[in-house]
Amino acid sequence: MNIHAYEKAWLGVSLVLIVLFIATIVYGTVGAGVAMVDDSGDPVNPDNLNEHREFSDPGVEQVGEDEYRVHVIAAAFYFNPGSPQFEPIQVPANSTVTFHVTSRDVIHGFSLPGTNVNTMVIPGEVAEITVEFDEPGEYGLICNEYCGINHHNMEGMIQVVPEDEYQPEGEQ
Ligand code: CUA
């Protein structure tokens, strides 16, 4: 069988493309840390968050030298803390922050544009997502799952403050 030289070249190019596509998918899932929402976290009772060890008093908690844990309750139509009627979420720069988010009512989103934080928040489940904040700045927090009439107003704020200006919660 005689394969034309151009045909051979294109066969080679398409093989390389296939390998590249597979490589980008592998990078996307492993390298960039993209993960699906799963039920690996502890389930919670959405009707009884006031009794929950962590969600009864949601907020920022230091768990290591530069590591913080933030519990957030999403509900129609606010994030507690984070939304204007609650405390803003404040963490220092150069920190690693893990958000634990659950919903009191329906499915919400928890998205911080400009970071890798973008997760679904499901009642009964705890979404867990880690982000590194290197620079001081403000990040808008938005719900990106349609959750009702005021979905478009469901928003909040994360303030990343310079390390020497950071005041742990309760000492402000
Ligand atoms: Cu909550 Cu949309």
Name the residue with the closest Cα to ligand 1, atom 1. 108
pLDDT in tens, 15-57: 999 999 999 988 887 876 666 666 666 788 888 888 888 898 9
In the chain, alpha helices (H)? 5-26
The type of residue at 11 is L
Would you say the CB of residue 75 lies under 6 angstroms from ligand 1?
Answer: no
pLDDT in tens, 104-142: 999 999 999 989 899 999 999 999 999 999 999 999 999
The number of CA neighbours under 13 Å toward the Cβ of 151 is: 12
pTM as predicted? 0.77
Q: Which atom of ligand 1 is nearest to the CA of 145?
A: 2
The alpha carbon of 160 and the centre of ligand 1 are apart by a number of angstroms equal to 23
DSSP 64-75: SSSEEEEEEEEE
The alpha carbon of 85 and the centre of ligand 1 are apart by a number of angstroms equal to 16
